[in-house]
Amino acid sequence: MSLTNNQKLELINSIEIANWASTSEKRPFAYTYDNKENRKILYKLGMKEEEINFECYRGCAVLDLISIGLKYANCFSKERGFYNEEIIRQELF
């Protein structure tokens, strides 16, 4: 069974963010720990081992979720996680 975009966002937003920055001179990041629990969630998203390893910072034991999360959402904030801007507009009106 294929997951909907919202289900994928729920999964990725269930991962605890260890450190993040969305406004800096460098590109934004949202780091989480590279562990079995987080990898299990990423596998549920349909990611392969090579794709996860590409987002892994060797020696630091962290994964950057920004490029993963932005496949399913167009925004990120520490408070809300990954989300789509259109959803916010719909909630306001």
Q: Which of the pair, 78 or 62, is modelled with greater confidence?
A: 62
Q: What is the mean pLDDT of residues 2-11?
A: 94
pLDDT band at 18, cuts 50/70/90?
A: very high
What share of the chain in percent tops pLDDT 90? 59
Domains in the chain: how many in total? Answer: 1
Task: Pick left, alpha or beta for residue 46 (phi over 0 → left; psi -120 to 50 → alpha; otherwise beta).
Answer: left
Residue range of the domain that includes 39: 5-92
Lookup result for tokens 């910072």: 57
The burial class, CB within 10 Å (0-12 / 13-18 / 19+), for 63 is buried
